[in-house]
Structure 1
């Protein structure tokens, strides 16, 4: 068994020293990648480690260094939506790629209730992670406040309006929403509604603001249906409600691709032709967008790059980099397809 010697006992640094025929201090310097160790000694230690099956005791090392070499990704979404939202997966992939390259472990913590929130705050206070990346934080988020109080190296993906002074990485949701809604208006639509979601966070608020700005005097607040989550169910329920409010509606801006997909299924069931009778647009350019029929016009946001840059912000803080890039806005792109 790896990490055990022939007698079943866990191999120790003393076993490595005995096998290599050199001092324990030299073995320790090699294992900690310290300078002033000869190439011969380093090779002897590496060979001995492989032979005796030595595995470093991470807990003991952490006690000495006061570092866990772990970073938390804190996801403020119901458990059911974590798997439904491709953006979360892409952000996670980007985050893990950067942390892995730096030999740090990603720890994912999901917040679905006040109980979860309280538990995670205690976990962070326990020193189990060196830093945190906060995804989809709501207004008045107690975890963000606790992180600020602990001075824990951290980064927001997005930027809640009441957030503490923590570096963030995000996109300009307002300008992106405004750009794609203006393009929808240019197709000749006159009664345009919105399926708004996530209004307790900056992304949802800013997308609604961009929608209203693009419509100008044509903006009708009665044609905005609100739902707390960026979900397929929000789109299905919201589209049915929007059609009840105004059956003559001929354009819809869905706050995410998942929301748009739910709305399009309702339109198909009711026999409303897309885009001949009603044009619909989304936001994210996730896998939902290309699964829809017809393919969805949407805003492409760089989810994986958001995760990468957030991870780098945390690593820069951990390394003491004074002039790291903070408070970054990444570019988006309108992707125009058949749905509008």
Structure 2
């Protein structure tokens, strides 16, 4: 099979030739300028359709010094990017706002240290006009590079060692405390936690809220640390928790995916919720409605988090003043049959 030849793109000169006008007139029409007659505008638009002309974004970007793209950085393994419905909801919220403003969203998943170095270089190379960062961890080279570069940016969540970059999030500590207190109010006496993401603010704050709620009843032996907000982490965490204390009658899982995994691990050993162990999650994601029984959980507005983060980046690109301090959105407890 012979090699395919590159497609010859129509140029602005082709449009001008077919329309019977000057190159300058074509340029004015394409740029939406008003100093063009109706006849010339109609001729140019017809010629564009006839020759199949598509504007060269790279050439335009050299003139405007803008790419028309906003980067989305997700600090999670590829598998979790696909599994976590919260990430999808945040992404859709961001894309909705950027689409209205005629910006393109470029998604970049950071799955390794090598990814981190590569993406940090990409972000500071002029390929995007701004960036939204999700799940940034402590000592994150990407977040630090963005903060130093002055690139318009916003975090979903608050990296604890980076200041001066606006962020939007939720009060994870208060929400975790509230849902744990609700679990305690059902009469549970031995409540454990499957804690994930302890290298970032969300994970640390949820553990702190759990600790606050239990007070003198807190037992560090009933906290099992897992690496990811993932279903598989919930299975492993629940199995470990039951080996620490088989009297556990309540569990706070730091995400719905973890809680779903915990329920599966319980079912494997003949335990049920809420009869044997009351289980609560966090997020009110699709996982919460998919489990049997449905999960009691904390609802966080993932779509709105994405929208607000995108709005913060656009505000900076438009030269509007943006507070470096963050803003928190409200959460609510959704009580279902698992507890």
Q: In which range does the TM-score fall when normalised by the shorter chain?
A: over 0.9
Query: C-alpha separation between the residues in 2 aligned to 1:36 and 1:217?
Result: 76
Corresponding position of 1:250: 249
Q: Secondary structure at the match of 2:224?
A: strand
1:71 aligns to what? 70
Q: Provide the residue aligned with 1:41 in structure 2.
A: 40
Whether the 8 Å contact between 1:300 and 1:335 is mirrored in structure 2 is yes
Gap runs ≥5 in structure 1: 1-7
Distance in 2, Cα, partners of 1:268 & 1:79: 28
Match of 1:210 in 2: 209
* 1:124 to 2:123 alignment: yes
Q: For 1:63 and 1:123, how far apart are their aligned partners in 2?
A: 17
Q: Distance in 2 between matches of 1:26 and 1:197?
A: 60
State the shift of 1:53 in Å. 1.2
Over 3 Å counting, the alpha-carbon distance change for 1:138 and 1:267 in structure 2 is same
CA–CA separation in structure 2 for the residues paired with 1:161 and 1:111: 19
SS of match in other structure, 1:83: helix
- How far did residue 326 of structure 1 move? 6.3
Q: Which residue of 2 aligns with 1:55?
A: 54
Number of corresponding residues: 333
Alignment of 1:112-191 (within 5 A): 112-191=111-190
Distance in 1 between residues matched to 2:214 and 2:164, nearest whole Å = 33
Aligned to 2:338: 339
Q: What CA distance in whole angstroms lies between the structure 1 residues aligned with 2:128 and 2:207? A: 36
Matches within 5 A, 1:272-311: 272-311=271-310
Give me the whole-angstrom Cα distance separating, in 1, the residues matched to 2:112 and 2:14.
48
Counterpart in 1 of 2:22? 23
Runs of 4+ in 1 over 6 A off after TM superposition: none
- Alignment RMSD, CA only? 1.5
1:18 Cα deviation after fit? 2.4
8 A Cα contact 2:147 2:162, kept in partner: no
- C-alpha deviations, 1:307-335, integer Å up to 9, x for none? 11111111111111225796221111111
2:85 maps to which residue?
A: 86
CA positional deviation for 1:234: 1.2
Matched, 1:261 2:260: yes
Q: Evaluate the alpha carbon distance shift between residue 54 and residue 166 of structure 1 in structure 2; reply closer, same or farther with a 3 A threshold.
A: same
Structure 1 counterpart of 2:232: 233
**Deviation per residue, 1:186-232 (Å, 9 max, x gap):** 11111100000000000000101111111111111111000121111
TM-score in terms of structure 1 length: 0.94
Deviates more, 1:40-49 or 1:196-205: 40-49
**How much has 1:25 moved relative to structure 2?**
1.5
Q: 1:245 to 1:150 in 2, by over 3 A?
A: same
| CA-CA distance at 1:9 after TM superposition | 4.1
Contact conserved, 1:313 with 1:325, CA < 8 A, in 2?
no
Distance 1:15 1:106 in 2: 31
Give me the whole-angstrom Cα distance separating, in 1, the residues matched to 2:13 and 2:58.
18
- CA 1:148–1:323 in 2, change beyond 3 Å: closer, same or farther? closer
TM-score by length of 2: 0.95
Q: Are 1:144 and 1:164, in contact at CA under 8 Å, matched by a contact in 2? A: no
Q: 1:323 to 1:34 in 2, by over 3 A?
A: farther
